[in-house]
Amino acid sequence: MGLGRLLILGLLGWVVFVLWRRWQRAARRPSPPATTRVVQCQACGVYVPESEAVAQAGGFVCQAHRAAGRGD
Ligand SMILES: [Zn+2]
């Protein structure tokens, strides 16, 4: 008795769960154009967001070390 109903209820719950998860993932999508990557400064080893780091020959450096060895 009621096994079919239970099955339908379970299926409905699963569908709602899947839809909810999908909706949450879509709502969570970050708006910034580039994903925030964290890079390590070659000079001092500090971790900084890629947007704040400066790309150099051997990798990235932080703002404090970007001028090192370069004529500005
Ligand atoms: Zn540094």
Domain positions in the chain: 1-31, 32-72
Residues of the chain with pLDDT below 50 are: 70-72
Distance 64 CA to ligand 1 centre (A): 5
| Cα 18 → chain centroid | 22
Size of the chain, expressed as the number of residues it contains: 72
The bridge status of strand 38-40 relative to strand 47-49 is antiparallel
The per-residue pLDDT for 71 is 46
Distance 40 CA to ligand 1 centre (A): 8
The per-residue pLDDT for 68 is 54
Distance 31 CA to ligand 1 centre (A): 28
The per-residue pLDDT for 34 is 59
For residues 61 and 30, give the distance between their C-alpha atoms in angstroms, rounded to a whole number: 25
The per-residue pLDDT for 57 is 83
Which residues neighbour 53 within 8 Å (Cβ) at sequence distance 6 or greater?
Answer: 39, 41, 60, 61, 62, 63
Distance 48 CA to ligand 1 centre (A): 9
| 27-36 tens-digit pLDDT | 877 666 656 8
